[in-house]
Structure 1
Amino acid sequence: MDVRRVLPHPALRNVVRSFGERRASLGSRVLTFPLAARPQQIIDIYLGDPLRIRTKGGDLEAAPEIAVVGPQGSRRSQIYASGELHIFNILLQPAALHRLVGIDMTSLINEGIAARDVLGNRALGLRDAVLSARDFASRVAAAERWFGMMLEHDVAEDGIGCTSSRLLSARGNVRIDTLVKQSGLSARQFQRRFTTQVGLSPKRYARTARFDSTLTAHRNQPAKSWTHIIHEAGYFDQAHFVRECHTLVGLPPSQFIGDWENIFSLDMAEIYNS
């Protein structure tokens, strides 16, 4: 697996967290893994064979050529990878899509849909620019130019973008009432604006970010005990983490982790959890 990841130009870092790309030749081998609860907003552009997705036990469907994937608040989908994988990946800031196109992000929770349904015809411009670029650096440059054009019509932030990014960077370990006070909004206003711009409520987003960071820590430090990882993530004890796994995944860790670890055969977390 060839995995690359770079930070965007500083002028774009309030909307883009990173650009990434991964390539692999799997042939007829099929890897499958669950799409776990996670806070990220992602744009995937397929330059090779697309991933296939089964949602809630339904039919297996190929991902769109360019897809927008919203935050995942619970396990609903199983991912299947095979053939020639070549995916250009854009990891967005938590409130980026709302800022760019004004979408109510609650409509994208647990969804991965054609980017044109979110971005309109502008999605075709992004797709064509990336597909016509000759290498990773050129694809990053093309995507940066596209975001630069999108930001020409940018609207002023109301603080939710900074707040949600801070909550994500802290892996969910920030008191929500502290964020409310710093925002200058009432608790009700903060809750409503955060949910609209990010998709999940502040509390749910914090829980999802913490859960996602815990899985990432296990991936990065496989020899480290779960007890240490769980405590460092901010859970009271193992029982607390098990309850969260039931809530966010619908399964106990013993039935979920082994299946989920297939994702690392593709090094996808190198991008998604950056």
Structure 2
Amino acid sequence: MTARYAEFAPRPDLAAHVACVWVFEGEDADEDQRIAPDGRCELIVHYGRPYLERTAAGDYVRQPRVLFAGQLTRPLHIRADGAAGVVGVRFTEAGAYAYLRRPLDAFTDRRAPLDVGGFSAVDEAARLTQVQDHVVAEIARLAVASDPSVERCVADLEAGASVEALCRQTGLSPRALQRRFATRVGVSPRMLASILRFRRVFEALREADAETWTEAAQAAGYFDHPQMARDFRRFVGCTPSQFVAVERGLSSSLADLPA
């Protein structure tokens, strides 16, 4: 069975908190998939065989069927162990707190099991409906007030603003701003800025703004290719050429890497 990845816009009542909902199903590559940071937390529901996740010790443990994936600051290695079937809710950079209502830095570089039932649909449309119904219900139940200052800062970082500019804009000290981000985003403003710049590399390739890695690096705001290559090792654990040499699968789909 050929693997398939697809993204869908969230329902209007989720648009303030969710970037997209996605599905991946089929036989994934039988080698490690390197999942790179993208600045966003996710709710993951496995309806196929859950992935195996490589630990720091080098062994593999099976992921829970339903999990909350916190922010990544380093590559995550997972491996398929049978036919995959995943529905994911990708929150906006500052959107997951409304769903979880717990400081997000406690989940950074962690995948936490969720004791959530009711995901029993047998077709794609129903799965997408069920998972979005669940998120809407949790957000309504927890009724968390938004933090407009953090949301504005995230938007400014996406536009290329410096952390110093954010402090001037909000009137917050760097330490105070970092505490706000730790709770609402899960990483510091400086870390998020680095991740967003790295994400723009793949956006440049996908949107045909660049045809080579060097052009993509420049479009993303890097000084040169070597500077981007350092972030590849930091966030993916390999070079750009090594990343694209891996058989196409979940990791290249999530990174928006062109086929």
- TM-score bin, normalised by smaller chain: 0.7 to 0.9
TM-score by length of 1: 0.80
Choose which of 124, 127, 131 in structure 2 pairs with 1:139. Answer: 127
Q: Equivalent residues in 2 for 1:28-107 (5 A)?
A: 30-75=30-75, 77-107=76-106
TM-score by length of 2: 0.84
Q: Equivalent residues in 2 for 1:1-274 (5 A)?
A: 1-25=3-27, 30-75=30-75, 77-116=76-115, 124-125=116-117, 128=118, 131-152=119-140, 153-163=142-152, 165-166=154-155, 169-170=158-159, 173-218=160-205, 224-249=211-236, 251=238, 253=239, 257-259=241-243, 262=246, 265-271=248-254
Gaps in structure 2 of 5+ consecutive residues: none
C-alpha distance 168-30 of structure 1, shift in aligned 2 (>3 A): farther
C-alpha distance 48-249 of structure 1, shift in aligned 2 (>3 A): closer
Gaps in structure 1 of 5+ consecutive residues: 117-123
Asked whether the equivalents of residues 7 and 18 of structure 1 are also in contact (C-alpha less than 8 Å), the reply is: yes
C-alpha distance 240-190 of structure 1, shift in aligned 2 (>3 A): same
Aligned amino acid, residue 109 of structure 1: T
The whole-number CA distance in structure 2 between the counterparts of 1:162 and 1:223 is 29
Aligned amino acid, residue 180 of structure 1: C
C-alpha distance 37-260 of structure 1, shift in aligned 2 (>3 A): farther
Secondary structure of the residue aligned to 1:39 is: coil
Asked whether the equivalents of residues 95 and 164 of structure 1 are also in contact (C-alpha less than 8 Å), the reply is: no
* Structure with a larger share of its residues in helix: 1
The whole-number CA distance in structure 2 between the counterparts of 1:224 and 1:33 is 24
Q: Which residue of 2 aligns with 1:119?
A: none
Secondary structure of the residue aligned to 2:232 is: helix
C-alpha distance 168-57 of structure 1, shift in aligned 2 (>3 A): farther
The whole-number CA distance in structure 2 between the counterparts of 1:43 and 1:168 is 24
Secondary structure of the residue aligned to 1:31 is: coil
The whole-number CA distance in structure 2 between the counterparts of 1:249 and 1:5 is 22
Q: Displacement, 1:165?
A: 4.6
Cα root mean square deviation, aligned: 2.8
The whole-number CA distance in structure 1 between the counterparts of 2:122 and 2:150 is 33
Aligned amino acid, residue 162 of structure 1: E
C-alpha distance 265-239 of structure 1, shift in aligned 2 (>3 A): closer
The whole-number CA distance in structure 2 between the counterparts of 1:227 and 1:272 is 17
